[in-house]
Amino acid sequence: MTDKAFFKQKSPGELEQALVRQMSHLRISSKLYDEGNQWEAERLATAIYLICHDSGKNYTSVLKHVGIKEKILFPDTTSLTINTANSFSMTPPMLAHWKTAEGLSLNARLGDVNLMAKISFNKWWDQTVFTAENGMSMSRKNIVYRSRSKDGGAHVDATNSDEVYERLKTQSSHFTVTVNGSPTWIARVGNFTNGHWATIRQIAHELDSALAATGY
C-alpha cells in the first residue's frame, strides 16, 4: 500500500543523472534517425520536451531542475540563411534538400554549429522556424509539443486540429523571403513529407550541441 503522505526531494545528483539519461535517449534516437529510421523523431520530441518544457507549477523541465536553463546559449540554425534584414532562402530555414537515389528529399540541415549564431533559451525555444503559405507559423516549442503530446511521442490524437503543423508534415518545401527580419512564404517548391520529423531532428542537433558544450 502506498503512503500518500510520502515525499522525498531528489538530490542535485539525481536530477543531473536525469539530464544525462535524457541526453543519452536523444543521442541514441538521433543516431537511429540518421540511419534511416525517421520515426525516431517522435522519441526525440519526447526527450526534447522533458529536457526543455516548463508549464507553470505543474511541469518543470530537467534543464530548470538542474539550474542551467538560463546559463546556456543555443545554436540557431535559422541564422545560416536568415541573418540579415532582407534575404532569400529555399525551404524552411531549419531544413535542407538532400539528394537520394529516389530523388530529392527534405531533411535536417545538421551542420557546423560554430557557424551559427548563439541565442538564449527563451529566444531559441519561442522563435518561429516554420511559416506556412497562409502566414501561420510555428516555433520549436510548438512543433515539439505537437509531436510529443498529440502525434506519437507520448500520445496519439485521433484528429489533428493544428493546420500549420499539418502543412509542415505534408507541404513543407517552399521559397521564403525575409523582409525586415520576418520570413514570409512566397512559393511552393514541392510537397515533401515529414518536414515535422526533420525539423525535430534539427532541434535535437542544436540542443545536443548546446548541452555538449557544457559537459553533458
Task: Render each residue's pLDDT in the chain as its tens digit; 216 residues.
Answer: 556 777 788 898 999 999 999 999 999 999 999 999 999 999 999 999 999 999 888 889 999 999 999 999 999 998 886 444 444 444 566 776 565 565 556 788 888 999 999 999 999 999 988 877 777 788 999 999 988 877 767 677 677 777 777 877 876 555 454 455 555 544 445 556 778 888 999 999 999 999 999 999
CA distances from 75 to 61, 212, 215 (A): 19, 12, 16
pLDDT for res 131 = 77
Name the packing angle between helices 163-170 and 140-149 (round to 10°).
90
Predicted local distance difference test score (pLDDT) of residue 184: 52
Residues 6+ apart with CB under 8 A from 114: none
Q: pTM for the whole thing?
A: 0.83
pLDDT of residue 88: 40
What is the pLDDT, as a whole number, of residue 119?
96
Predicted pLDDT of residue 101: 63
Q: What pLDDT does residue 109 have?
A: 85
Question: What does DSSP say about strands 95-100 and 137-139: parallel, antiparallel, or unpaired?
Answer: unpaired
What's the pLDDT score for residue 9? 87
d(CA 99, CA 188): 18
Q: 59 phi and psi, to 5 degrees?
A: -145, 115
Q: Show the cell assigned to 100.
A: 537520394
d(CA 211, CA 149): 24
Quick one: CA dihedral 137, 141, 142, 147, positive or negative?
Answer: positive
